């Protein structure tokens, strides 16, 4: 069944405006129409490459079908979430990277910015935390504010072998067991269907844990629209069907191999062209506190997918641009000076919001002080939008490339669109670069080195390799 009316969906369409990337606005600092035409074939090939592989689990392309193939899972998640909301005071995600950034981002985007501080009646569900690190101070801080026996812990790990997540699990499991709590009553596993270590742990408990499957063909950073993100979102009372409908809507918008019609392909082409020009920093700057963590989520998606040493042909390419998180207007008073006057090595992507859902009028007062008085009678929404427009304009005038993703408002449907567009953009860009977008050998190497340093069996050679690295020279320590 279609989500809301066609008119509503069209009114909620997320669009991309890349005028300030083009020579029409930027003169010789911009991209010309002929440069765009020159990339047409490459963009079409990238579109075909991604399109041909849609849904292929063996190529980690299962994420393209998540908006369509989860009806039964969504029903199950909604029923489970209802129980959790009744039974538990706290909901804590244990995970890291792709298993944590998505749930944090959606929480930040679609819930009250002070959700956990709201009185229970207004909060309408459990307090929510994502434990995305192994900083002992952070874990202690969490334990100081939750009551573990009244907490549902969602352990999210595809492999069940990620040291950070499993350390969090061991600590919490020990605490619960010492309190006489049956782990399976307070924990839900989201993991691989049969291979992950969480499955082995569940086996030891006779299969008593509630489990959700992180599908085979869905990598961590592309997993927000599967149970990894859907369960935490549903527990928060977020409209998960709306998120999936938004993703499907964006998928339909991006169904043509044509830069002028497909916003994800347009963004990928812009990124590709600017990469070739040596612009190797890509700033994502949402003008919305609700989208602050979107920049974190996107940075991982882009960095882990596009930062690759070799291409498919085995050539060393060291591909990638460095994603940078920024927040409008806050970072106007921190980073924008550099963006406007520093090296020409950046592309700035703004996310602009048309309707913030609340205007926040600015009171009149102090008319005799012009720097203050002129603000009276305006609204904060007007102010943030004016500053967004002014920053894009100032960058353009300084010959700095920038483009804007326009969101009519921040809701489940538009967020689903935005996520899916950025995922498609990443897949197209990877295809243009001829790299494997879906692996992460660098991250895996780091994981192995950690195993070796902590004495994990089977990593003795790695430990020897690390120990044989040249000793640190005192003269370089100051």
Residues with catalytic annotation? 304, 333, 447
Contact residue for ligand PA5 among 211, 221, 241, 292 (CB under 6 A): 221
The rounded Cα 469 to chain-centroid distance in angstroms is 35
Q: From CA 422, how far away is CA 345, in angstroms rounded?
A: 21
Contact residue for ligand PA5 among 62, 67, 126, 220 (CB under 6 A): 220
**Sheet bearing 187-191, strands edge to edge:** 127-131, 90-94, 151-156, 187-191, 210-213
Contact residue for ligand PA5 among 96, 245, 348, 452 (CB under 6 A): 96
Q: Give φ, ψ of 368 to 5 degrees.
A: -75, -10
Q: Which of 236, 323, 231 is nearest to 285 (CA)?
A: 323
Helix, coil or strand: residue 1? coil
CB nearer to ligand PA5: give 319 or 407.
Answer: 319
Contact residue for ligand PA5 among 67, 97, 246, 416 (CB under 6 A): 97
102 part of the interface to ligand PA5, by CB under 6 A: no
* Least Å from the CB of residue 219 to ligand PA5: 5
Neighbours of 91 (CB within 10 A): 26
Contact residue for ligand PA5 among 30, 67, 98, 328 (CB under 6 A): 98
* Least Å from the CB of residue 316 to ligand PA5: 23
CB nearer to ligand PA5: give 98 or 323.
Answer: 98
The answer to whether 401 and 30 have CB atoms below 8 angstroms apart is yes
* Least Å from the CB of residue 443 to ligand PA5: 6
CB nearer to ligand PA5: give 299 or 453.
Answer: 299
Q: String of b and e for 116-125 (b: at least 16 CB within 10 Å)? A: eeeeeeebeb
CB nearer to ligand PA5: give 214 or 243.
Answer: 214
Q: Which two tokens stand for residue 389?
A: 């427009």
443 part of the interface to ligand PA5, by CB under 6 A: yes
CB nearer to ligand PA5: give 98 or 125.
Answer: 98
CB nearer to ligand PA5: give 391 or 440.
Answer: 440
CB nearer to ligand PA5: give 165 or 332.
Answer: 165
End-to-end CA distance of the chain: 65
CA angle, 460 then 462 then 465, to 5°: 110
131 part of the interface to ligand PA5, by CB under 6 A: no
The residue assigned the tokens 């019609």 is 261
**Residues 322-381 interacting with ligand PA5 (rule: CB under 6 A):** none
Q: From CA 251, how far away is CA 152, in angstroms rounded?
A: 34
Stretch that binds ligand PA5, among 90-98, 103-111, 338-346, 384-392 (CB under 6 A): 90-98
Classify 184 in phi/psi space as left (phi over 0), alpha (psi -120 to 50) or beta: alpha
**Residues 151-170 interacting with ligand PA5 (rule: CB under 6 A):** 157-159, 162, 165
Q: Which of 286, 403, 277 is nearest to 20 (CA)?
A: 403
Q: From CA 453, how far away is CA 127, in angstroms rounded?
A: 36
In the complex, which residue's CB is closest to ligand PA5?
220
Stretch that binds ligand PA5, among 91-99, 145-153, 198-206, 451-459 (CB under 6 A): 91-99
The DSSP element (H or E) to which 403 belongs, if any, is strand 402-409
Stretch that binds ligand PA5, among 218-226, 352-360, 414-422, 423-431 (CB under 6 A): 218-226
Interacting residue ranges for ligand PA5, rule: CB under 6 A: 96-99, 157-159, 162, 165, 219-221, 304, 440, 443
């Amino acid at each position: 069944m279609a989500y809301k009316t066609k008119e509503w969906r069209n009114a909620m369409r997320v669009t991309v405006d890349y005028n300030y990337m083009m020579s029409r606005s930027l003169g010789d600092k911009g991209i010309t129409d002929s440069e765009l035409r020159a990339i047409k074939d490459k963009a079409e090939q990238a579109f075909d490459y991604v399109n041909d592989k849609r849904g292929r689990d063996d190529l980690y392309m299962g994420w393209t079908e998540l908006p369509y193939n989860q009806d039964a899972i969504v029903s199950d998640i909604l029923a489970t979430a209802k129980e959790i909301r009744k039974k538990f005071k706290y909901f804590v995600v244990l995970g890291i990277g792709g298993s944590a950034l998505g749930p944090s981002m959606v929480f930040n985007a679609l819930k009250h910015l002070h959700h956990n501080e709201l009185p229970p009646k207004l909060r309408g569900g459990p307090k929510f935390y994502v434990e995305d690190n192994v900083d002992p101070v952070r874990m202690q801080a969490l334990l100081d504010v939750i009551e573990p026996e009244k907490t549902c812990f969602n352990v999210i790990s595809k492999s069940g072998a990620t040291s950070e997540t499993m350390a969090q699990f061991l600590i919490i499991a020990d605490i619960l067991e010492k309190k006489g709590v049956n782990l399976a009553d307070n924990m839900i596993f989201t993991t691989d269907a049969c291979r992950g270590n969480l499955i082995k742990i569940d086996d030891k408990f006779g299969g008593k844990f509630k489990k959700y499957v992180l599908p085979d063909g869905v990598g961590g950073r592309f997993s927000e629209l599967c149970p990894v993100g859907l369960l935490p979102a549903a527990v928060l009372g977020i409209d998960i069907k709306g998120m999936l409908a938004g993703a499907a809507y964006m998928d339909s918008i991006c169904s043509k191999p044509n830069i002028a019609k497909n916003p994800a392909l347009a963004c990928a082409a812009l990124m590709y062209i600017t990469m070739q020009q040596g612009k190797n920093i890509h700033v994502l700057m949402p003008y919305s506190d609700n989208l602050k963590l979107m920049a974190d989520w996107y940075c991982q998606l882009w960095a882990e997918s596009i930062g690759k040493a070799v291409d498919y042909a085995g050539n060393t390419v060291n591909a990638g641009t460095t994603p940078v998180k920024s927040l409008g207007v806050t970072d106007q008073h921190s980073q924008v000076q550099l963006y406007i006057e520093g090296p020409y090595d950046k592309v700035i992507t703004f996310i602009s919001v048309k309707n913030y859902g609340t205007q926040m009028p600015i009171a009149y007062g102090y008319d005799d002080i012009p720097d203050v008085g002129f603000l009276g009678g305006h609204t904060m929404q007007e102010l943030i939008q004016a500053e967004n427009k002014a920053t894009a304009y100032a960058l353009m005038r300084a010959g700095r490339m920038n483009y804007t993703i326009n969101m009519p408002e921040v809701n489940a449907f538009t967020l689903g669109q935005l996520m899916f567009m950025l995922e498609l953009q990443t897949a197209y860009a990877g295809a243009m670069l001829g790299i494997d977008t879906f692996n992460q050998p660098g991250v895996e190497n780091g994981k192995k080195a950690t195993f070796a340093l902590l004495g994990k069996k089977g990593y003795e050679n790695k430990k020897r390799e690390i120990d044989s690295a040249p000793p640190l020279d005192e003269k370089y320590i100051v």
